[in-house]
């Protein structure tokens, strides 16, 4: 699994603070570091709509179609995904979930791709042949969203109840957003319980 941050609103935390202080007529209290306390304060009070005033775009690779199906359920994010209609899946790249025997799973994947190739050989279009491909098939996509949408995604998918693959994806996205905007994207603000034992700091 790979992610790449393609774009993010410059000075996002300061912009969000500047816009939000209009609500409270407190622009005069803005300093170079005032966002460090201000942003966690509004989030704690449930005032998260100002997060929509900043934006981030990620390129996500080597996730399964099963994972992408979970991801697109987050309706406030926007998606562009590699098409199985226009792109041939001739190389068998797939994700093996935890708890499944790798050798047996590989045999099943080989059968699926052999059927796919046989359909192509007799002239069936990719858009129809793809129906035989499994949810384990790798995909890639670009995902865009404002910070409020990303905040909501992380609150749901960082939790221990989330399925392993999308939780791993959420951890990678959290790592990048935490690095870029630590006063918004941290485990205290996101109410992640229990605290994640991640191999990177906040």
User: What are the pLDDT digits (tens) for 62-81?
Assistant: 999 999 999 999 999 999 99
Above 70 in pLDDT, residue 201? no
Above 50 in pLDDT, residue 202? no
Exactly one of 78, 82, 157, 167 is catalytic; name it. Answer: 157
- Contact between 134 and 112 under an 8 Å Cβ cutoff? The reply is yes
Q: Output the DSSP codes for 47-95.
A: --GGGGGSEEEEEEEEEEHHHHHHHTT-TTSEEEE--TTTS---S--B-
pTM exceeds 0.95 for this model: no
Domains of the chain are 2-80+138-190 (3.30.1360.170), 89-132 (no CATH)
Per-residue tokens: 168: 């791993």
CB atoms within 10 A of CB 76: 13
73 catalytic per annotation: no
Q: How far apart are CA 81 and CA 54, in angstroms?
A: 23
């Amino acid at each position: 699994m790979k992610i790449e941050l393609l774009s993010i609103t410059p000075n996002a935390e300061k912009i969000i603070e500047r816009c939000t202080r209009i609500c409270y007529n407190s622009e005069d209290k803005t300093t170079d570091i005032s966002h460090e306390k201000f942003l966690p304060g509004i989030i704690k009070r449930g005032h998260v709509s100002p997060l929509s005033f900043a934006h981030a775009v990620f390129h996500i690779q080597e996730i399964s179609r099963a994972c992408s199906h979970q991801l697109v359920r987050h309706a406030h994010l926007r998606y562009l995904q590699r098409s199985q209609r226009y792109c041939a899946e001739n190389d068998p790249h797939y994700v093996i979930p935890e708890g499944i025997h790798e050798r047996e799973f590989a045999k099943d994947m080989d059968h699926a791709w052999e059927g796919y190739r046989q359909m192509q050989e007799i002239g069936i279009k990719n858009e129809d042949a793809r129906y035989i491909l499994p949810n384990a098939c790798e995909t890639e996509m670009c995902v865009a969203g404002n910070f409020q949408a990303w905040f909501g995604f992380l609150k749901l998918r960082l939790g221990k109840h989330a399925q392993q693959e999308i939780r791993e994806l959420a951890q990678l996205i959290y790592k990048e957003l935490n690095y870029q905007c630590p006063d918004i994207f941290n485990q205290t603000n996101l109410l992640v319980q229990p605290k994640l034992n991640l191999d990177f700091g906040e």
